[in-house]
Chains A and B, each alone.
Chain A
Amino acid sequence: ILNVEQSPQSLHVQEGDSTNFTCSFPSSNFYALHWYRWETAKSPEALFVMTLNGDEKKKGRISATLNTKEGYSYLYIKGSQPEDSATYLCAFTSGTYKYIFGTGTRLKVLA
């Protein structure tokens, strides 16, 4: 059974704080790791797709790293703003056509 786990499940941070969360995935048969941002009552929106070990991606204040050998990815948010409040999902794709979402990290940024 392929498992994708995210931690923490939820967190609250103050505006201006930097934060990070983890996505753990199977290290074998890896194809890609996706990060999505999912605001309440909206649909998931793609942030990053990473395919190579050591990949680092950045979009504004949000960045992500990838370690395929040990099976984890970190998502970082620098200087969190209230509009960053959302659920952050990672999804793992394998060579056997599996596309598996994690359970998400619910971030609440307090003004």
Chain B
Amino acid sequence: DQQVKQNSPSLSVQEGRISILNCDYTNSMFDYFLWYKKYPAEGPTFLISISSIKDKNEDGRFTVFLNKSAKHLSLHIVPSQPGDSAVYFCAGTNDYKLSFGAGTTVTVRA
């Protein structure tokens, strides 16, 4: 039973524009969410997180928005850069155990 879903397997965006990645979750017990970025043949690296007591967290070009009532979160990357081309995983948790989505592959076009 997949508790975190990323319904868009891929996203193509022009360099300099905004990338918006979406994630939905079903477990209402989740109170902490994370985004990881992964390049091919490498392990995921932590990008940004958000606690359920907030609805927005910003770190440089990356902003995560959380809508608890809709059980939805999104990651905004502004402006998108070629180095942002990677797979992005959303994860939710209420303890040590992370539940991951299937990932969204972002391709930034020059």
A binds B: no
